Amino acid sequence: MDSNGQVPIKFDSFANIINGQVAGSAHSYYGIDPVTKEKLWDVPVATAEDVENAVASANTAFSRWRHTTWQFRTEQISQFKAVFQSYQDQLVDLLVREAGKPRMVAMGEIQTCVQLLDWHIKLKEPRGESYDFPDKTIENKFVPLGVAVAICPWNFPLLISTGKWLPAIQMGNSVIVKPSPFTPYATLKVVELANQIFPPGVVQVLGGDDSLGPTLVEHPRVHKISFTGSIATGKKILAVAAKTVKRVTLELGGNDASIVLPDANIGKAAPMVAIGAFFNTSQVCIAAKRIYVHSSIYRPFLDALVNVTRSFKLGTTENEGFALGPIQNATQYDKVKTFLKDSKDRGYKFALEPDEGAVDTMNGFFLQPAIVDNPPEDSKIVKEEPFGPIVPVLSYDSIEEVVDRANNSNTGLGATVFGTDPETLRRVADGLEVGSVWINGYPSVAPEAQLSGAKESGLGTEFGTLGILAYANTKAIWTFKST
């Protein structure tokens, strides 16, 4: 043990955590470093027996943890924050290796996790209303619901997983985390760290193959699923969860519009739009994926956007400044290239066309950013989400028109709006059928802001004061007074 009485963590071996203990397996898988395409460390594949053991342990832990006080659970979170921060450099290194993130982007993800921990440490216990009548009292309460499963994506593995398991346990639940098989490493280590603080079974983690997620979703002793990922998978989870009426939170895909109004300051808006479109190499659910610019400023804005985007560095994860790392995995890399091919095959004009020869000498899954100049509204690049660094810029003539075009989607995750007139900005924001709108800024998340989606972009909410209630049931207690 170290001077703080904690077991030092090794960052070159990885295991599942079941009932507070490391757990191996006869079979393993591994991630790929997207910068070099080299194999990373082995990770055990959770077996059906592992799932049963983890679910049983989670239910046993829940039976005790649910009776602890809010203050006690919050104090435990505060202790975990200290442990987390003591290993943040090692966690940054893992994110750089497994996700291909530029170091500054990986550090930003860690710092946002710290902000999330601070938010929960300060968060007051949610309480329902109470009523006192002549003949009775009615007390409305929020109570923990049981065992939660957090199914997490590969683009922000630590932030999204922490944003799920943290409110779950603070509300008094136990949780099993399933990281993406593309990026399991940092999440496995964070749960290992958590088990130095929280009782066995409260926070567990299982990595595995394609059968693991469905097995957890179907399990009758799992009571809540929180999933971030594709719309198609989210629909499958919702259908399976309906069999046992599990509580479900879904944060799914988006095709977010960025609207540049005619009075926008081009010099200020263009960098914000570029960052909103290409941050993390566009592997962001809330990234701008369709950019609508008023016809009166279309050409000068497009030129400014291209100039800003040209300044972004493409290269290794050690680059300083605003750098674009690789696409995280081969499957997504190939998918993004289909958008480039389709746009070229159909003869669309590129305001910024990627130089494929410039990345041929790079080993990883690198793609230069691309900007398509005013493609048809029904084109693949406009209607679908590439989740990679290619974005269409489109011209519009009226506010009513652009709001209708932005809303003409089965998704409604977020949108950005740029301009100078406050009333017009607010009118546009209120007219957009989305879960979040950022005015004169690029998309981001904060612990204080609810994160939810309209239409097929999600179900329920995460973060904010309502995020923790996603892990609660309501209970009304009626007490009749004696006469």
48-59, pLDDT tens digit by residue? 999 999 999 999
Question: From the candidates 98, 192, 251, 456, which is the catalytic residue?
Answer: 251
**Dihedral, CA atoms, 176, 182, 186, 191, nearest 10 degrees?**
10
251 carries an active-site annotation: yes
CATH (domain of 384): 3.40.309.10
Residues 220 and 293 in one domain: no
Residues 140 and 262 in one domain: no
Residues 330 and 216 in one domain: no
Q: Over 60: is that where the pLDDT of 4 sits? A: no
Residues 364 and 245 in one domain: no
In angstroms, the CA 227 to CA 460 distance is 11
Residue 8 inside a domain? The answer is no
In angstroms, the CA 213 to CA 242 distance is 15
Q: Over 90: is that where the pLDDT of 38 sits? A: yes
Mean of the pLDDT values across residues 305-324?
82
Residue 322 inside a domain? The answer is yes
Q: Over 90: is that where the pLDDT of 93 sits? A: yes
Residues 6+ apart with CB under 8 A from 196: 6, 7, 83
Residues 223 and 261 in one domain: no
Written as one letter, the residue type at 107 is M
DSSP-H helix ranges across 377-421 = 380-383, 399-407
Residues 94 and 234 in one domain: yes
Residue 10 inside a domain? The answer is no
CATH (domain of 248): 3.40.605.10
Residues 393 and 427 in one domain: yes
**What pLDDT band is residue 320 in, cutting at 50, 70 and 90?**
low
Residue 264 inside a domain? The answer is yes
In angstroms, the CA 233 to CA 73 distance is 33
pLDDT digit string (tens) for 321-366?
A: 668 999 999 999 999 999 999 999 999 999 999 987 777 778 899 9
Residues 130 and 235 in one domain: yes
Residues 6+ apart with CB under 8 A from 89: none
**80 near 222, Cβ under 8 Å?**
no
User: What pLDDT is recorded for position 146?
Assistant: 98
User: What pLDDT is recorded for position 203?
Assistant: 98
Residue 11 inside a domain? The answer is no
User: What pLDDT is recorded for position 48?
Assistant: 96
**What pLDDT band is residue 1 in, cutting at 50, 70 and 90?**
low
Residue 452 inside a domain? The answer is no
User: What pLDDT is recorded for position 319?
Assistant: 60
Residue 463 inside a domain? The answer is yes
User: What pLDDT is recorded for position 5?
Assistant: 58
**In the chain, pLDDT over 70 holds for what percent of residues?**
97
Q: What is the DSSP letter of 221?
A: T
In angstroms, the CA 128 to CA 473 distance is 11
**What pLDDT band is residue 396 in, cutting at 50, 70 and 90?**
very high
Residue 232 inside a domain? The answer is yes
Angle at 323 between CA 318 and CA 325, to 5 degrees: 75
In angstroms, the CA 245 to CA 69 distance is 28
Nearest in space to 223 (alpha carbons), one of 141, 149, 142 = 149
Residues 276 and 224 in one domain: no
Q: Domain range for residue 76?
A: 16-252+457-477
Q: Over 80: is that where the pLDDT of 205 sits? A: yes
User: What pLDDT is recorded for position 210?
Assistant: 87
pLDDT digit string (tens) for 275-285?
A: 999 999 999 99
Q: Over 80: is that where the pLDDT of 317 sits? A: no
User: What pLDDT is recorded for position 321?
Assistant: 60
Residues 272 and 387 in one domain: yes
Residues 6+ apart with CB under 8 A from 404: none
Q: Over 70: is that where the pLDDT of 2 sits? A: no
Mean pLDDT of the chain: 95
**What does DSSP say about strands 147-151 and 461-462: parallel, antiparallel, or unpaired?**
unpaired
Residues 347 and 297 in one domain: yes
User: What pLDDT is recorded for position 359?
Assistant: 77
Counting the structural domains of the chain, the total is 2
pLDDT digit string (tens) for 210-225?
A: 899 999 999 999 999 9
Residues 6+ apart with CB under 8 A from 5: none
Range with lowest mean pLDDT among 107-116, 207-216, 313-322: 313-322
Residues 67 and 191 in one domain: yes
User: What pLDDT is recorded for position 473?
Assistant: 97
Q: How far is the CA of 366 from the CAs of 93, 313, 355, in angstroms?
A: 20, 11, 11
